[in-house]
Structures are given as structure tokens and as C-alpha cells.
């Protein structure tokens, strides 16, 4: 076996940007042949992965997969650099594998998909990232649902609870849950209820409004601020948003209508919305 020197390892690192241990192993495997070692690293995608780490990956796919009984849903956003790659079967298959791992409850997606990730990077020559994931498991009576919009540009998960199993199986409840996924996809609420909005965010909004109404009497300012904040809540909090199908109704009104139709208490428990490339 050739003597693998520090100088040889550093030379390989300079030429590929791969990690030290990966370079050392490649040189050992090739008996010190630099060109053969470079080929190995490229085949594994290691050199490409590091070289392209600073490339922006804002294209890709948001995908959701539900369990056979519908009580668990996994959703993942996987990014790449170009829409062209995002539309390839290889990339779609990788996203499918990642999402199935999310559905299965795998915690370390990076480790579970490491070999597949290196393969897709090598195949595409682009920086591919598993950006984020979410997994909803139904708790109690109700329904978890997903909605993928614009061919994978936006993805939504929501959990809605109710008091009776009959309600969860009803057409009215199913329609409500579906409408909520459409609402979240279209209107992009940031929080469920006003109580979830951080105090510093509310204060920042108030500061903006105070600047806009400078010079008015203090009592009038406070009343205007209350109105402005309520309007802000109707923009960013799901339960106060105007219903996209009928803007004269709020989401609270829509939920109450379903409660009346089913004779049951209904609660929107949680939701998450992924928009491709957005924070």
C-alpha cells in the first residue's frame, strides 16, 4: 500500500473541496492515485456537495404522504437549484423516499437518507437539501389532512378535532377540513389565534401605526391602535381571516356553521404551511 501523506490528502482536498477523512479514505482505496481518488469522490457526490454548498437551492418539491388509515401524515420540503432538476424522476423519487421517512417518524433524516442524498447530488450536479419536515399524528376524534398546491410549491398540514366519531366521519366535517387546507394554502396565516402572536411582533406593528397617526389625541390614538391590531390579526391569524370562498365570513364563522350542522364542538388544533424556498 502506498504511503498516504498529509501533503497528498491536502492536495486532494484543494482539488475537490471534499472532507479530510473522505479524501484520506479515497486515497487509501486507490493506493494513492489522485485521479482515481477524485473519480471516487465525484461518484459519491462528496466533491460536488461541498463545492456547491454556497449555491442557493430555492426550487424543489413540497410533498405529503398519509398513512393507510389516514391518522398520520408526513410532509417534507426538499430543495434543489433549478426547476429542471425538480421535475426529473430521480429527484421526485428522492423526495418520495424522504417523505416516507418523515411519515415513518424517522428523526435523523440526514443520516437515514445520506447515501440517497449523495447519489442524487452526484446525478444532478446540484446542491440538494432536505429543508424541513412535519409529521402530524391524529390525537382523539377528528381528522388530519394535507393539501399540496401549485404542483408542490406550497404544502399544508392541519389537524382539526371534534367531540364525536360520527362528526369526524361526516361529510360536513370533511368539507370543513378540506376548506381549511385551501384557506391556509391561499391566505398564508402565520398563527392560529392572536394569543400565539409574539408580544414583540404586536409592539412592532403598534410602533408602525403610531408613526402613521402622530399628532392625534391620546384617547383617539389608543382606539385607532386597537382597530389596526384587530385588522392585523385578521390578516395573520387563521381563525380571524376572511374565508377565501366567502370573504364576508370569517374562519370562525365557518367553524361555527359546521358545529351547528354536526351538533358538536370543533377545534382547529394546529397547522403548518411550507412554501417552497420561503422562510
Beta bridge partners of 137: 72
Q: In sequence order, which residues have a C-beta less than 8 Å from that of residue 109 and are 6 or more positions away? A: 76, 98, 101, 102, 130, 133
* pLDDT score recorded for residue 50: 46
Average pLDDT, the chain: 90
Question: What does the block give as the cell for 25?
Answer: 479514505
* pLDDT score recorded for residue 272: 98
Task: Find the Cα–Cα–Cα–Cα dihedral 84, 88, 90, 95, rounded to 10°.
Answer: 80
**Rounded Cα distance, 208 and 233, in Å:** 15
* pLDDT score recorded for residue 52: 53
Question: What does the block give as the cell for 237?
Answer: 391569524
158: left (phi over 0), alpha (psi -120 to 50) or beta: beta
Question: What does the block give as the cell for 140?
Answer: 382523539
Q: In sequence order, which residues have a C-beta less than 8 Å from that of residue 182 and are 6 or more positions away? A: 147, 244, 245
* pLDDT score recorded for residue 231: 93
DSSP assignment letter at 58: -
Beta bridge partners of 272: 157
Beta bridge partners of 145: 158
* pLDDT score recorded for residue 21: 83
**Rounded Cα distance, 191 and 174, in Å:** 22
* pLDDT score recorded for residue 7: 79
**Rounded Cα distance, 122 and 16, in Å:** 13
Low-confidence ranges of the chain (pLDDT < 70): 1-2, 17, 43-56
Amino acid at each position: 500500500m502506498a504511503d498516504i501523506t498529509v501533503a497528498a490528502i491536502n492536495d486532494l482536498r484543494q482539488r475537490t473541496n471534499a472532507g479530510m477523512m473522505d479524501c484520506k479514505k479515497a486515497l487509501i482505496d486507490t493506493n494513492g492515485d489522485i485521479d482515481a481518488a477524485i473519480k471516487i469522490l465525484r461518484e459519491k457526490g462528496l466533491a460536488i456537495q461541498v463545492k456547491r454548498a454556497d449555491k442557493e437551492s430555492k426550487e424543489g418539491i413540497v410533498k405529503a404522504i398519509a398513512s393507510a388509515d389516514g391518522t398520520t401524515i408526513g410532509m417534507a420540503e426538499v430543495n434543489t437549484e433549478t426547476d429542471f432538476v425538480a421535475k426529473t424522476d430521480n429527484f421526485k423519487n428522492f423526495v418520495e423516499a424522504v417523505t416516507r421517512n418523515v411519515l415513518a417518524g424517522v428523526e435523523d433524516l440526514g443520516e437515514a437518507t445520506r447515501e440517497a442524498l449523495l447519489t442524487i447530488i452526484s446525478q444532478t450536479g446540484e446542491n440538494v437539501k432536505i429543508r424541513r419536515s412535519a409529521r402530524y399524528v391524529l390525537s382523539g376524534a377528528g381528522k388530519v389532512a394535507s393539501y399540496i398546491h401549485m404542483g408542490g410549491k406550497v404544502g399544508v398540514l392541519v389537524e382539526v378535532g371534534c367531540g364525536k366519531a360520527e362528526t369526524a366521519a361526516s361529510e360536513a366535517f370533511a368539507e370543513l377540513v378540506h376548506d381549511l387546507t385551501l384557506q391556509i394554502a391561499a391566505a398564508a396565516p402565520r398563527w392560529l389565534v392572536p394569543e400565539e402572536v409574539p408580544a414583540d411582533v404586536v409592539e412592532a406593528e403598534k410602533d408602525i401605526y403610531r408613526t402613521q397617526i402622530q399628532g392625534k389625541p391620546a384617547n383617539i390614538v389608543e382606539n385607532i391602535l386597537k382597530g389596526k391590531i384587530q385588522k392585523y390579526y385578521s390578516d395573520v391569524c387563521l381563525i380571524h381571516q376572511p374565508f377565501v370562498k366567502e370573504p364576508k365570513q370569517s374562519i370562525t364563522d365557518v367553524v361555527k356553521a359546521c358545529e351547528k350542522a354536526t351538533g358538536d364542538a370543533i377545534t382547529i388544533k394546529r397547522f403548518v404551511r411550507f412554501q417552497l424556498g420561503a422562510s
